[in-house]
Amino acid sequence: MAKLRRFWGWAIASMLFRLALIYFPRNLNFGFRPEIATPVTSLRRLAEGYWLKQSSMSPYAGSMYHGSPLLLSLLGPLTAKRFEGQPSHIACSLLFVVADLVTAMLIRTTGQYLQSAYSQSLKHLNLMRHLEASAFHPAGDIAALIYLWNPLTVAACVGSSTSPIENMMVALSLYGACLGLSPLAAFGWVAATHLSLYPAILIIPVILLLGYGPDSPPRKLFLGRNFGSSGYESLPQACHFSWRPAVYFILWASIWSFFVLVLCSISLMQYGGLFEMFRRTYGFILAIEDLSPNIGVLWYFFAEVFDFFRDFFLIVFHVNIMFMILPLAMRLNHRPCFLAFVYIAISSMLKSYPSVGDSALYFALLGWFVNELADMKCSFFLLCGYVGVTLLSPVMHNLWIWRGTGNANFYYATAMAYACLQIILVVESVSAMLHHDRTMKKSISQS
């Protein structure tokens, strides 16, 4: 009970901290930072799209808005209202605060379920030493607090980026899949894909979650154990793939997708319909039409590349993500939630318009595996690197844009360092997880 009160105390404090920054006497202008607001997640662009629609024009007219028409209908009215003289973004910011809290609760519940299921797997393998060690670290609470108190999460929320809504849908999908709720998992996956496109690759870990259940030790460890006369039937769920929830997920995903497309077609009936939406949202993301600076690595490259080679490199960069999906799924199929973390980190690094909100999500998911990754190397180096990049990025942007004492190379150097840190994080975390599995294998062979 004391631990529960302590957790809620920290959670409520994080919400109050956000509200204090939102109502800060002097506007912090987080919504104008390229690290926070991208052409896809900017609330100012959404307000412009809503104004165009209210003026009987297409919300995609010009080059401002490139988001979902459903998100436009949900947040658009809030951007047009003023409450007691406060700026119009206040109402949306309050909604983002609630979205952050809901996301944290989903992450916490999922982490608790993951840890409980993992403990049951260790009991099957009679690895009590590992079980007792993992009980000291409540992964669900740690992951939720990482999300709530991560400065990147706070900046995305206060900066009125729509990233908290996308993160909430991804967390909802993983929560539903972890608990075996196919309709809920399908809804979260469809909504996240509709908002940002890149969560589409999460269909693989979600199906593995529904089929095999939560993360567990490698299945060959169970197969090498003697479970008595009952044999194969007595093996844990992780050793059997259940096709029924996976089929239900595909069915429900089709239903939700049809429902979303119908609503979008109704919303854009007079403005080009679904073709206009796909061209101005997914087409905009894939074609990388806006080359304004961000924390990604693609804007500078495509600003310098010759137009003759542009289509070739567009294919190379987008297919690069697809090349990593199958090998990682084959090697980490026994840990679907960890696989989801790896996919989110890779897409955050290689997506067209990344923001700090993407990093905030995969940092929280990394907290689910605080026990398994306790021996991960380069942790202090990565922490210092992320802190350094977070501080240097606005400085280099200021030197380039406002003071004129720097140039684009200064700012792009921080983006390159940010990408390198993400690569190191993915490589080291995967290596640490595989090392953890090998350690359990040795423990079983010695027992």
How far, in Å, CA of 218 to CA of 239, rounded? 9
Within 8 A by CB and 6+ apart from 225, the residues are 124, 125, 444
The two three-digit tokens of residue 238, written as one number = 């992780």
Q: How many Cα atoms within 13 Å fall on the side-chain side of residue 5?
A: 2
What is the predicted pLDDT for the residue at 100?
94
What is the predicted pLDDT for the residue at 385?
93
How far, in Å, CA of 178 to CA of 208, rounded? 10
pTM, to two decimals: 0.91
Biggest CA–CA distance in the chain, Å, is 77
Within 8 A by CB and 6+ apart from 425, the residues are 345, 366, 382
What is the chain's alpha carbon radius of gyration, rounded to the nearest angstrom? 23
Q: Where are the domains of the chain?
A: 2-224+238-446
What is the predicted pLDDT for the residue at 414?
93
Among 122, 140, 117, 121, residue whose Cα is nearest residue 132? 122
Give the SS3 label for residue 161: strand
Asked if residues 196 and 166 have their Cβ atoms less than 8 Å apart, the reply is: yes
pLDDT tens, the chain, 447 aa long: 667 778 888 999 999 999 888 887 566 678 788 899 899 998 889 988 888 888 888 888 878 899 899 998 888 888 875 444 444 567 778 889 999 999 999 999 999 999 888 887 777 666 655 555 445 678 889 999 999 999 999 999 988 889 999 999 999 999 999 998 999 999 999 999 999 899 999 999 999 999 888 877 777 766 655 554 444 444 556 567 788 999 999 999 999 999 999 999 998 888 878 888 999 999 999 999 888 899 988 999 898 888 888 989 999 888 888 888 999 999 998 899 999 999 999 999 989 999 999 999 999 999 999 988 888 888 899 999 999 999 999 999 888 988 878 788 889 999 999 999 999 999 999 999 998 888 877 776 666
- Count of other CB atoms within 10 angstroms of residue 240: 13
Among 107, 102, 96, residue whose Cα is nearest residue 18? 96
230-239 burial code (b ≥16 CB/10 A, e <16): eeeeebbbbb
What is the predicted pLDDT for the residue at 185?
95
Say how many residues make up the chain.
Answer: 447
H or E segment to which residue 33 belongs: none
What is the predicted pLDDT for the residue at 323?
87
Within 8 A by CB and 6+ apart from 97, the residues are 15, 18, 19, 22, 157
Q: Which neighbouring-strand residues pair with 279?
A: none
- Unique residue bearing structure tokens 């990682």: 328
For 42, phi then psi, to 5°, come to -75, 130
